[in-house]
Amino acid sequence: MNTIQSIIIGVVEGLTEFLPISSTAHMRITENLLGIANKDEFTKVLTVAIQLGAILSVVVLYWKKFFQFKNFNFYFKLILAVVPALIFGKLFNEKIDAVLENPLFIAFIMIAGGVVFVFIENLFKEHTIDKEEDISIITSIKIGLFQCLAILFPGLSRSAATILGGMSLKLTRAAAAEFSFFLAVPTMLAATVYKLYKYKSEVGSFSTNELKQLAIGNLVAFVVALLAIKFFISFLQKHGFKIWGYYRIVVGLLLLLLIQKGIIIA
């Protein structure tokens, strides 16, 4: 993998990780168009490990929330909410990896999720929770369970699953999106650390070039994610989710077209 490829993947990760449009689907398309899909194990590691840069963007943007150490209830809710994902990830790790390499499955999940988002505003109209402090521990655990859907169905999008879950539990658009960002930090951190540890235990150590590409990819993902999060919250409050639903459907159909043309191998 070269520097240009790392930069492109970092941009895609930063743009899509916190939007309800599936970073997984966009990564698969990007890897195939760059000609690096399934080329080596490090490519798979990089597409997970650059989540660290995206994680740091959330911590920076919401630093008052994450470093307000007296607010133990905030940390407690995140810890409990992330537990289901850790359990599911461990139990279904091999099956998840297999599905991640199946772009046809991802395409159908993209389209199905898009249809849901087109009608989500009509499904959940009653919103009474508009800030994190009002989210109960039980509600946070339930949102954590929704997050497991993204683990079982790659292409659904982790942020989409948690936002849908939050809105179904009476969170406002903004509150559901922000809690999704908060929950991403422990979830993605655990996935990143596990992937890096597993790779290092298998190969012994990272090469100089691999460390360089990890650093570049993470830096780019961090900067782009900062901008994407700010844009998403503002756009969401004004326009809602429908446009993201249409976007998912278009990308899902594009993925199917690329598969049909043989550009992406299913």
Decide if 190 is inside a domain. yes
Q: How far is 263 from 202, CA to CA, in rounded Å?
A: 31
Tell me if 265 is assigned to some domain: no
Q: How far apart are CA 33 and CA 245, in angstroms?
A: 24
pLDDT digits (tens, 9 = 90+) for 157-167: 889 899 989 99
7 domain-assigned: yes
- Residue 215: inside a domain: yes
Q: How far is CA 243 from the centre of its chain?
A: 18
Say whether pLDDT at 266 is over 70.
no
Task: Categorise residue 37: left if φ over 0, alpha if ψ from -120 to 50, beta otherwise.
Answer: beta
Whether the CA torsion 234, 235, 239, 240 is positive or negative: it is negative
Confidence label for 217 from pLDDT (cuts 50, 70 and 90): very high
Residue 250 lies in a domain: yes
What is the reported pLDDT for 29? 84
pLDDT tens figures, 143-157: 999 998 888 887 888
Question: What percentage of the chain has pLDDT greater than the value 90?
Answer: 41
88: in domain: yes
pLDDT at 126 (0 to 100): 77
Which residue bears the tokens 């503002």? 234
Question: What proportion of the chain, given as a percentage, has pLDDT over 70?
Answer: 95
What domain count does the chain have? 1
What CA–CA distance (Å, rounded) separates 11 from 16? 9
Cα–Cα dist 75/55, whole Å:
16
- Using alpha carbons only, give the angle 2, 96, 32 rounded to the nearest 5 degrees: 35
Q: Is residue 249 part of a domain?
A: yes
Average pLDDT over residues 114-120: 86
Quick check: is 266 in a domain? no
**Residue 80 pLDDT > 70, yes or no?**
yes
Residue 174 has pLDDT above 70, yes or no: yes
Q: Is the pTM of this model over 0.75?
A: yes
pLDDT attached to residue 194:
86
Range of the domain at 187: 3-260
Q: pLDDT tens-digit profile of 34-65?
A: 888 767 788 888 888 898 999 999 999 999 98
Residue 14's pLDDT is 93
Q: What is the mean pLDDT of residues 93-110?
A: 76
pLDDT in tens, 225-235: 999 998 888 88
